[in-house]
Every structure is written in C-alpha cells, then in structure tokens.
C-alpha cells in the first residue's frame, strides 16, 4: 500500500510540473484526499442486506481438536434441511484478538440469516434441538449463537483493510454511540439480542454491536477511555474474510 501511495504522489507531481512556467501547486490536504479516493476505489466491499422480520445470527465457538470428520458429518445432517428452509450463510469475521471477556474462541464469528421464525420451527421438525445439542457437544467445547430480529430493512457494508469489533453486551445501559463516532468508529449493527443459545447454559447477553474502525489502535483507545462501566461484555477484533486474490 505504501508503494501505491508513493507512485500516486509521483504521478501527480509529474503532471503538475509539466505545465510550463506556472505549475499548479496542490495543497497537502487536497493531495491526501485524492490519494484516499484512489485507495477507496480499489478497496473491496461486501454488502449484506437484511429485510424486516428476518432473523440475523452471529455465531462463535471453540472447536475441539481432531473433530474434522464429525464436523463434516454435522454439516451433512444440518445444512440440507436448514437451507431448504431458507437458512443462508452471509460471511465470516475471523477473530484476530479478544478485546474483552473470558471467552477465547478459536474460529470466527459466522454471520447467517433465517427468513423468519416459521422457517426455524420447520427446520426443528427435521432436526430436533436435542439431536442438535448431542451433535454439537462432540465438536465444540462452546458454541454461542446470538439472534437479532431485524426491525426494518437494513444494510451492512464490510470493507477490506478495516478492523471490525464485535461486542456482545450484558448491560442495562448501552455504549455511548456518539463517543464511538468521535473516536472514528462507525456503527455497522446496533441491535438487541432477541434469542440466545450456548452449550454452557449461561445468561444471555442483551445487545449485539458491530463497530468499524480504521485500525485496532483507535478501537483500543476507545475501549481504554470509555467512561461507561458495563457489567460484562465479550468482544473481539475481527476483519471480513474476503476471497483470496488470485
């Protein structure tokens, strides 16, 4: 990326100096804006669109070692009837670092959706909750599923080279959204958790928050200075998993 910025700067200087005896000088701020525009055009993005009434899921777990065959078996049992009812994978947020809490997953935050509760109920007629639990405890030491009922049509946009912080909050009060914005964060998702399931039967969190940061340092500065003392939270620094470039 530094090399690209350097080349862009050289090209601009060459173009501005070839205009005879009166070269047009561009301000530093203007140059930085042009460079940022060029970078933004090259940055990959992924849009996730959700409709009112759909169920959005954020799933995170700790998979035990040596369970690959059981995982394939689980997917073979669960995915066909789930997809028949409209269950849709939306993307993955690999976990780069735990930012707070005691839970240290070794996978990613998986993003999924259901068309609505009738779809879930139809799926559970094919694969009962008891059977699901028996399958899961053989693969994961913990698997946490956070469900949001989408209140209105919304869109989440994930960008390449951005840091995303996923927060599950146990609190009566919410984080100060304005202070997040002042620190340079942008809210991607901010919704109450309507349904929760895990293997350890813990207390459900109240809120799911996804924040976009330019870098991890900005996120850490916010978390260090945040004046609101939450009762509990689990949060992770992540990035969106785009396909590898060929």
Please identify which residue in the block is written with the tokens 């065959």: 69
Q: What is the pLDDT along the chain (246 residues), one digit of tens a residue?
A: 333 333 332 233 233 333 444 444 455 555 555 555 444 457 899 999 999 999 999 999 999 999 999 999 999 999 999 999 999 999 999 999 999 999 999 999 999 999 999 999 999 999 999 999 999 999 999 999 999 999 999 999 999 999 999 999 998 666 778 888 888 999 999 999 999 999 998 999 999 999 999 999 999 988 887 655 556 889 999 999 998 776
User: Within a domain: residue 31?
Assistant: no
pTM here is: 0.80
Per the structure, how many domains does the chain have?
1
User: Within a domain: residue 90?
Assistant: yes
User: Within a domain: residue 149?
Assistant: yes
pLDDT tens across 150-205, in order?
Answer: 999 999 999 999 999 999 999 866 677 888 888 899 999 999 999 999 999 899 99
Expressed as residue numbers, the domain containing 152 is 49-238
Report the CATH number that the domain containing residue 184 is assigned in CATH.
Answer: 3.30.70.100
């Amino acid at each position: 990326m530094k090399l690209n910025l350097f080349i862009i700067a050289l090209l601009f200087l060459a173009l501005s100096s070839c205009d005879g005896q009166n070269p047009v000088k561009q301000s530093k701020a203007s140059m930085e804006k042009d460079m940022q525009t060029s970078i933004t055009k090259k940055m990959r993005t992924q849009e996730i669109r959700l409709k009112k009434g759909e169920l959005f899921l954020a799933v995170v777990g700790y998979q035990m070692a040596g369970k690959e065959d059981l995982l394939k078996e689980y997917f073979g049992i669960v995915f066909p009837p789930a997809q028949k009812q409209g269950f849709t994978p939306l993307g993955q947020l690999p976990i780069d670092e735990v930012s707070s809490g005691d839970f240290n997953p070794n996978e990613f935050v998986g993003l999924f959706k259901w068309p609505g509760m009738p779809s879930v109920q139809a799926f559970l007629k094919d694969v009962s909750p008891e059977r699901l639990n028996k399958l899961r405890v053989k693969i994961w030491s913990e698997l946490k599923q956070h469900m949001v009922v989408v209140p209105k049509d919304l869109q989440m946009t994930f960008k390449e080279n951005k840091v995303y912080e996923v927060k599950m909050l146990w609190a009566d009060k919410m984080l100060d959204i304005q202070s997040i914005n002042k620190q340079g964060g942008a809210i991607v998702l901010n919704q109450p958790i309507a349904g929760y399931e895990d293997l350890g039967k813990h207390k459900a969190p109240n809120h799911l928050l996804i924040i976009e940061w330019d870098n991890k340092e900005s996120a850490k500065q916010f978390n260090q200075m945040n004046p609101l003392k939450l009762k509990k939270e689990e949060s992770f620094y992540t990035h969106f998993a785009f396909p590898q470039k060929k």
